[in-house]
């Protein structure tokens, strides 16, 4: 008989590519992860992982088991959801990980809605970028992620996750007031090819959106300054340190005295924001109201 907790460990190893990283995500020791993998191999009668200089990879047998693992764990999530619905009702804690603007735009309003509509649900919020929040959901560190689509992200049909679209917003060009395009009604990105750029660090989903937009305009942006805080990005632009693309909602309430904000000429780069939960957990009586509240906040 295969133990479900060992399947969870197998998936974590497949996701993180090393025993050490999987152990850290699961709050286990590397030796405990190795022991559980060895026990799983004994249960299945197959070698499931191979260790190499670059980490751990699944064998063909491991890949077969992983495909079933995603289905099994999703079904267990559904079972937990049905049992929770059968029991006393919607009262408990749901942990939500979101990037900062998402917290301000949809998470905080959802918390306020739930205080009225589902007072038994307590929300705990963690600030995390989209590339970090999705692994946190898969590793059961949080229940819900509010994340941004980015290159390399799990796709919408990923068998491990259920995606709930929330909203999409354009990026606007932010240039110093002294910039040659400050008086333009719209900014063609190709005209910024030789400028210094300010933007998020690689790994931040917004970095991918900016770089891809510039690539589509025919150039690689020269990133002179990096910050994941858009207030810092705008402050540097106001100091004539470079130009930037910033999500429109992130500009709300900022001091824009030293910069000019203009829409991008043509098709604007866009960040698409969604909520994600482990597949099968979307109908859990604690999680469903949270997803509904996030969706309602996004519509507003």
Give the model's pLDDT for residue 115.
93
Give the model's pLDDT for residue 167.
94
Give the model's pLDDT for residue 259.
97
Give the model's pLDDT for residue 87.
66
Give the model's pLDDT for residue 143.
96
Give the model's pLDDT for residue 82.
75
Domains recognised in the chain with CATH numbers: 4-83 (1.10.10.10), 90-167+272-298 (3.40.190.10), 168-270 (3.40.190.10)
Give the model's pLDDT for residue 155.
85
Give the model's pLDDT for residue 89.
60
In this prediction the pTM is 0.71
Report whether 244 contacts 220 (CB < 8 A): no
Mean pLDDT, each 10-residue run in order, the chain (300 residues): 84 89 89 89 87 83 88 84 68 91 95 92 90 91 93 85 95 96 96 96 89 94 95 96 95 92 92 94 92 95
Give the model's pLDDT for residue 90.
66
């Amino acid at each position: 008989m295969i133990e479900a907790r060992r399947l969870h460990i197998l998936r974590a190893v497949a996701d993180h590519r090393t025993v050490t990283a999987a152990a850290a995500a699961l709050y286990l020791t590397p030796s405990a992860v190795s022991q559980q993998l060895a026990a799983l191999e004994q249960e299945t009668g197959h070698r499931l992982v191979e260790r190499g200089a670059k980490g751990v990879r699944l064998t063909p047998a491991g890949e077969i088991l992983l495909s079933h693992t995603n289905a099994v764990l999703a079904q267990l999530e559904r079972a937990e959801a049905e049992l929770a619905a059968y029991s006393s009702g919607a009262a408990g804690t749901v942990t939500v990980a979101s990037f900062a603007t998402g917290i301000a735009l949809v998470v905080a309003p959802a918390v306020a809605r739930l205080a009225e509509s589902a007072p038994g649900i307590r929300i705990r919020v963690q600030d995390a970028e989209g590339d970090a929040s999705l692994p946190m959901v898969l590793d059961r560190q949080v229940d819900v992620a509010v994340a941004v689509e980015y290159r390399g992200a799990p796709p919408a049909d990923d068998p491990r996750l259920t995606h709930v679209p929330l909203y999409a917003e354009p990026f606007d060009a932010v240039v110093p007031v002294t910039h040659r395009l400050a008086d333009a009604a719209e900014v063609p990105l190709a005209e910024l090819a030789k400028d210094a750029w300010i933007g998020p660090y690689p790994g931040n989903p917004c970095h991918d959106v900016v770089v891809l937009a510039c690539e589509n305009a025919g150039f690689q942006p020269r990133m002179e300054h990096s910050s994941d805080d858009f207030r810092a990005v705008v402050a540097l632009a106001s100091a004539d340190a470079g130009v930037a693309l910033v999500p429109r909602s992130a500009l709300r309430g900022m001091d824009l005295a030293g910069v000019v904000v203009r829409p991008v000429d043509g098709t604007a780069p866009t960040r698409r924001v969604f909520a994600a939960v482990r597949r099968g957990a979307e109908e859990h009586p604690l999680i469903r109201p949270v997803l509904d509240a996030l969706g309602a906040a996004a519509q507003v």
